[in-house]
Amino acid sequence: MKALVIGVSGQLGASLFAVLSSRQVQVVGTHCAHPMPDSVFLDARDGGAVRRLVAEVSPEVIFLAQNTPGGVDFCEAHPDEASALIVQAARNVLAAAAPLRARIVYFSSDYVFDGKSGPYDEAALPCPLSAYGQAKLAGERLLQDHPHLIIRTTAVFSWAPGTKNLAMQVWENLRAGKTLRVPNDQWCNPTLAEYLAEASVALAEAGQSGIFNVVGRDWMPRSELAAALARALGLDPALILPAPTGDLNQRALRPLKGGLKTDKLRAALGSAPLSLPQALERLVRRFRESSCDLARAQVPASVQQAKADILDKVRRYHALAHPSESFIPRQSRVRYAGRVFGESEMVNLVDSALDFWLTLGPYGDKFEDKLRRFFGSRDFVYVNSGSTANLSAVMALMSRQIDGALKPGDEIITPAVTFPTTVTPLVHAGLVPVFVDCELGTYNVDPKLVAQAVSPKTRGLMIPHTLGNPCDMDAIMDIVRRHRLFLIEDACDALGSAWRGQLVGTFGELGTLSFFPAHHMTTGEGGGVIVNDARLSRIVRSVRDWGRDCWCAPGKSDTCGKRFAWKLGGLPFGYDHKYIYSNLGYNFKPTDLQAAIGVAQADRLPDFIARRRRNFKRLYEGLQPFQDRLILPRLDARADPSWFALPLTVDGGVSRNELVAWLESAGIETRQVFAGNILQQPAYAGLPMRRHGSLEITDRIMKDTFFVGVYPGMTDAMLDYILETFAAFFAAARSRAPHA
């Protein structure tokens, strides 16, 4: 998708630009009154300028997200200008989009209603009270007879310094010790700008048209939202003064019983909108990043200079200590994997060390946000290994806080060719793994056998994407939907792999990653849980954070506003919420030092993935002449793998041991496919489990399959050397073969 965002200087436009960019969408943003980096000037009231820019950019989708300066009351005082800003802009964009058949995403508001009987669904009859609402409705009517998308929303907030959204009003007034009067009779759905952008992009990508309400899950007076924002930002909610609208001297009439229903949105996206606690968690992460930068800016100049000097020396050290190494055949080792890094990883690491923030903190927030945006997921939770990511995912699906949770004795289908910590969490949780055979060539679970293995006790699938090659997710998701199963995707070897354009790790309720140095990117030790089901976000974080019920960020208290007013379980009323545990959990948190490395590594992901694909292609094509002796990976046109390695199975009488010994003696590292048949491993003998079928392909893989590397640190010289070494082996084998 190629996109144009009109109005990136506002909180919604900025969020749209960030979401689209994180999804590798080619996007152009425009500004008008407030210049923004990497955006172009556009006054959308100028029809000629709009036509020229749209023709130049040639977008498939145009997001019309520009603001009206001064908001609702400005529009009431200047109705003609409001009409030009909203209606004329929509008319101009509609005319410019028509020749290209570009789709428009137009943002409207619950202010198109009179607020007498909200919340409203999409079919409710509009009746605006204000010039702003009238202009928004006029814009809707321009587009409603065309296949465009109209998004209605309300009470949008975000951590966006320089804007006037309610979160920033609360911050700026309360931190200065000022009170803030907020209406207690205007009902709304609090909506995080980032969520609004994510849901809008998802609807656009799905080809939806017509009117959709996109708002948060909760419905409350604006005064309650303001108090919740104050608590989340560590401010005194007593400074929020609830007041009736009639006492606020607002120029424009407001809909009082406003807000919007989201049944249509839930059906389209298959998930519930973001709740206010979830939105506040994300807001606080943004706030912590910003406040950390602010705190750094407030340190004495001498301290800032000292740090700058140190970081400059780190850059010079990196250049001296980690130069590019020349490859010398038969002397240099060709590793199957390795860390690939630059000066930015070392600078971030030392920067974090100098701040001495030891636990997960500001860099952790940035890292989680980068990965959440990369996947377009509901959340991303950073943990201390891929193993604990799998354990966290399993424990989350056993939480009493979800309906129909897994329980001991339930069966989970998983392949027999696997890594130990894909299976071990199932065993420790009292679940029963059901092992099925794999496919030769893909080395993934055989979907036909998965379907056959389902029993009345089956509750879920634990599916790894072996060595970066995606499983047949059409077949897997058909099984999941047909039998209403949970799905955890172990994507530890498949970061960046996609099936029909959708990243693996985003199909099931949860996906997992590893950031061990051998993997696609590294934080040293580390892993992550991709959260695709909104109800699991807090639960996964709870499992990672000792199982606690409290969701306060480190160093914060009373985000919920009732720290000493909870009554949960058998605890006495008022027991400190910081010490209430609603899940079985552990301390799986990594350090901020590790996250600092991850922030830099995440920026390299597109390049890492491209280089892995390139290296795989070079080896795959170079080994084509030996297909009588080697079974090459089986490729599926629906898949776009981000390869962890190149798997090979010997055939035609070739001995794996002899070939591996030849490669290793030449300095080329090899590895076998993890544990092989996991049931043959000593630790897994006699465990409660079920075996479906013979596992004959699994045993063949255990006996005949190995892999060589394709990691981004490999050079053309290394790849050529690998191919030459294979050729030499097969030439030597032919010369030794008896002549007929």
The CA R_g of the chain, rounded to the nearest whole Å, is 28
Residue 631 near residue 440, CB atoms below 8 Å: yes
Residue 184 near residue 223, CB atoms below 8 Å: yes
360-593 to CATH, choices 3.30.497.10, 3.40.640.10, 2.140.10.10, 3.30.70.1560: 3.40.640.10
Residue 92 near residue 44, CB atoms below 8 Å: yes
CA atoms within 13 A on the CB side of 55: 10
- 362 Cβ neighbours under 8 A, 6+ residues apart: 288, 289, 292, 592
Query: 702 pLDDT exceeds 60?
Result: yes
- Where do the DSSP E strands lie in 135-292? 149-153, 156-157, 180-183, 187-188, 191-192, 210-213, 220-221, 240-243
How does residue 292 score in pLDDT terms, banded at 50, 70 and 90?
low
- pLDDT for residue 161: 85
As given in the structure block, the two tokens for residue 719 are 């790849």
Q: What is the pLDDT of residues 132-162, one digit of tens each?
A: 999 999 999 999 889 999 999 999 999 988 8
Q: What is the pLDDT of residues 164-212, one digit of tens each?
A: 899 999 999 998 899 999 999 999 999 999 999 999 999 999 899 999 9
- pLDDT for residue 39: 87
- pLDDT for residue 112: 96
- 733 Cβ neighbours under 8 A, 6+ residues apart: 629, 654
Q: How far apart are CA 347 and CA 525, in angstroms?
A: 18
First to last CA, the chain: 59
Residue 504 near residue 498, CB atoms below 8 Å: yes
Describe the crossing of helices 11-22 and 362-375 by its angle, rounded to 10 degrees: 70
Q: How far apart are CA 418 and CA 681, in angstroms?
A: 11
- pLDDT for residue 643: 98
Q: Residues 649, 650, 651, 654: what is their CA dihedral angle, to the nearest 10 degrees? A: -170
How does residue 293 score in pLDDT terms, banded at 50, 70 and 90?
low
Q: What is the pLDDT of residues 662-697, one digit of tens each?
A: 999 999 999 999 999 999 999 999 999 999 999 999
Ordered DSSP codes for 451-502? HHH--TTEEEEEEE-GGG----HHHHHHHHHHHT-EEEEE-TT-TT-EETTE
- The DSSP H or E segment spanning 432 is strand 432-436
2-296 has which CATH code? 3.40.50.720
Percent of the chain at pLDDT above 70?
A: 98
Mean pLDDT of the chain: 93
- Number of residues written out for the chain: 740
DSSP letter (8 states) at residue 246:
G
Of 11-25, 441-455, 709-723, give the lowest mean pLDDT range: 11-25
Q: What are phi and psi of 491, to 5 degrees?
A: -105, 25
Residue type, 392: S
How does residue 109 score in pLDDT terms, banded at 50, 70 and 90?
very high
- 536 Cβ neighbours under 8 A, 6+ residues apart: 396, 397, 402, 509, 510
- Candidates 31, 148, 465, 519; catalytic one: 519
Q: What is the pLDDT of residues 234-274, one digit of tens each?
A: 888 999 999 999 999 899 999 999 999 999 999 998 888 98
- The DSSP H or E segment spanning 347 is helix 343-355
- Alpha carbon of 152 to those of 456, 492, 535, 648, 663: distances in Å? 44, 38, 24, 53, 62
Q: How far apart are CA 653 and CA 170, in angstroms?
A: 74
Domain boundaries, the chain: 2-296, 360-593, 603-735
Q: How far apart are CA 662 and CA 248, in angstroms?
A: 82
Is 577 catalytic? The answer is no
As given in the structure block, the two tokens for residue 524 are 């040293």
In CATH terms, the fold of domain 603-735 is Aspartate Aminotransferase, domain 1 (3.90.1150)
Q: Omega before 470 cis (within 30°)?
A: no
- pLDDT for residue 423: 98
The sign of the dihedral angle between the CA atoms of 158, 162, 164, 166 is positive
Q: Exposed/middle/buried for 38, CB within 10 Å: 0-12, 13-18, 19+?
A: exposed
Place of tokens 């928004």: 136
How does residue 296 score in pLDDT terms, banded at 50, 70 and 90?
low
Q: Omega before 119 cis (within 30°)?
A: yes
Residue 492 near residue 386, CB atoms below 8 Å: yes
Alpha helices in 175-275 (DSSP H): 193-205, 222-232, 263-269
Name beta bridge partners: 31: 41
Q: What is the pLDDT of residues 345-391, one digit of tens each?
A: 999 999 999 988 888 988 999 999 899 989 989 899 999 999 999 99
Query: 287 pLDDT exceeds 70?
Result: yes
Percent of the chain at pLDDT above 90?
A: 79
- pLDDT for residue 297: 54
As given in the structure block, the two tokens for residue 156 are 């949008």
Q: What is the pLDDT of residues 616-665, one digit of tens each?
A: 999 999 999 999 999 999 999 999 999 999 999 999 999 999 999 999 99
Of 140-149, 411-420, 488-497, give the lowest mean pLDDT range: 140-149
Residue 598 near residue 515, CB atoms below 8 Å: yes
Query: 561 pLDDT exceeds 50?
Result: yes
Query: 513 pLDDT exceeds 70?
Result: yes
Q: How far apart are CA 326 and CA 566, in angstroms?
A: 63
Query: 288 pLDDT exceeds 80?
Result: no
- pLDDT for residue 740: 45
As given in the structure block, the two tokens for residue 18 are 């960030």
Query: 503 pLDDT exceeds 90?
Result: yes
